[in-house]
Amino acid sequence: MSEPVTTAIETSGGGKAAGLWAIRIGSLMIPLAHAAGQNLVTVLGLRFMTDSLAISAGAAGAIFAFVKIYDGFADPAVGAWSDRAKTPWGRRLPFLFAGGIAMPLGLALLFGAPSFGSILLAQLFVTLALVIHATGYTLLTIPGFAMLVESSSDPRERTRLMAWRTYGNAIGTMLGSTLPAWVLSMTGPTRGGHLGVAMIVGAVVLGATLLAVRLLAGAPRTEAPDQTGVERVNPVRALLRQVALAWRNVPFRTLAIAHVFLLFGTAIGSASLAFYTRVGLEQADTVLGTYFMLATVAMLVSMTGWVWLSNRIGKKSAYITALAIYAVVQLSWLLAGPGEPMTLIAVRGGLSGLSGAGMILCAYSLLSDAVRYDYVTSGQRREGSFAGFTTLFDKLSSAAALAVMGAFLAAMGYAPSASGMAAQQSDSARLAILLCVSVIPAVAMVGAIVTMAFYRLDAATVEAAELQQVNA
């Protein structure tokens, strides 16, 4: 039985409907929260473990991979759970609230890890912290994306909402990468400095989540469907059935594969940059923070242009353009080295942010079209499940990226440290860092571009299906 669809002025909870701007700002706050919390870990987590906790690069990468795999397989379960949930707040908001609490807790535990005097205990502790953090991330991202799809039946408005989400992601990225790097440049890369940064970012995550919950309380949403006996008795079978149905959606499947390449490349590119600026460029964390600040500004400034371009040449072509720009930017690090002019670093930061805006906007806007197309052609509401599958692929690709990076650095002789500063590294370790920041991300983007050549769904097809459903 499919669910009743609310209109733009009604909510399933019967409360006062949220205004358009409340929905847009609420849609901005969700990615702001999870991007801030996630980028702090993505940019500094691996380096903190190797250079402050003396955990080897291989072990640190394996821990990240384990947590990402756990988190990835939790995503479809959370998505399906939120699809079926029935609460006074609706299906999604309770998950957002829980995620806004769990993510800051994980940050505080990770970057506040005590000195155990045992590498094994330190590894177990940071694994627990990362599991809590990752659970919070899932609780924020899955329902957040599902709410975007539910909020409007207009593909153009969903693109606008995706732009607002991208603005939020950009601001969150700056708060989770630029701000921590600048703070550490002032306090020094001490454990106390890292904990202070974690507390600041954790407060941002919690505050943004609470504001989003408040603003989206009256947003258009749908009620959970009546569950069949099979779904009540055997949720695992119901989840597997949802996986099979989602995978049969060819546009979604194509986008998911391209997304795997995208996330693999960007995960390695972001994580390795913290190592490369310190070891390869021999620069302080101020440069790292400035790079991400410029990337964020470029992301924000260029967003309107990407919305225009995607409407002009199509989302698919705009997406491929953004992927190509990012690949070229990463390859350009092959020409850099110690004493690199700040002007060239700044140009790379700006172009990285510009391409990042296009990749995020187009990828998720295309995904929202594919999910909406599933609904209008099947009559089934599976937004949460699709969001869960999307992030499952994201997490698995990120897990593979961090595992590969950690193992590669370890194999090439990267030396860990407990001082907060990088140890003296061999030429082979320096080469490994350079390849992680340049060639590997670029190759991953080429893989995404080739995959997108097989994508066929366009906005006109989605609109035609919407019209056919209305007339039926």
Question: For the packed helices 285-313 and 179-187, what is the interaxial angle rounded to 10 degrees?
Answer: 170
The topology (CATH level 3) of 20-222+232-471 is Growth Hormone; Chain: A; (1.20.1250)
Kindly report the average pLDDT of the chain as a whole number: 81
Between 164 and 335, where is the model more confident?
335
Helix (H) or strand (E) holding 457: none
Q: What is the CA radius of gyration of the chain?
A: 22
| Cα gap 122→287, rounded to integer Å | 29
Q: Which residues of 11-41 are buried (b: 16+ CB within 10 A; e: fewer)?
A: bbbeeebbeeebbbbbbbbbbbbbbbbbbbb
| pLDDT of res. 255 | 87
Residue 355 in this model has a pLDDT that exceeds 80? yes
Residue 229 in this model has a pLDDT that exceeds 60? no
Phi/psi for 174 (5° steps) reads: -65, -45
**Interval 74-87 mean pLDDT:** 69
**Interval 113-130 mean pLDDT:** 92
Name the residue with tokens 């990076």.
405
| pLDDT of res. 79 | 67
Are the CB atoms for 11 and 221 separated by under 8 Å? yes
pLDDT tens, 151-180? 655 666 666 777 788 788 888 988 998 899
Confidence bin at 243 (pLDDT 50/70/90): low
Type of residue at 197: V
**Interval 313-340 mean pLDDT:** 94
| pLDDT of res. 422 | 66
| Tokens of residue 62, six digits | 């394996």
**Interval 34-62 mean pLDDT:** 89
Between 116 and 105, where is the model more confident?
105
Are the CB atoms for 383 and 84 separated by under 8 Å? no
Q: How far is CA 122 from CA 57, 370, 407, 421, in A?
A: 14, 43, 19, 18
Are the CB atoms for 277 and 43 separated by under 8 Å? no
Are the CB atoms for 292 and 175 separated by under 8 Å? no
Type of residue at 169: N
| Cα gap 162→169, rounded to integer Å | 10
**CA end-to-end span of the chain:** 17
* In the chain, domain spans: 20-222+232-471
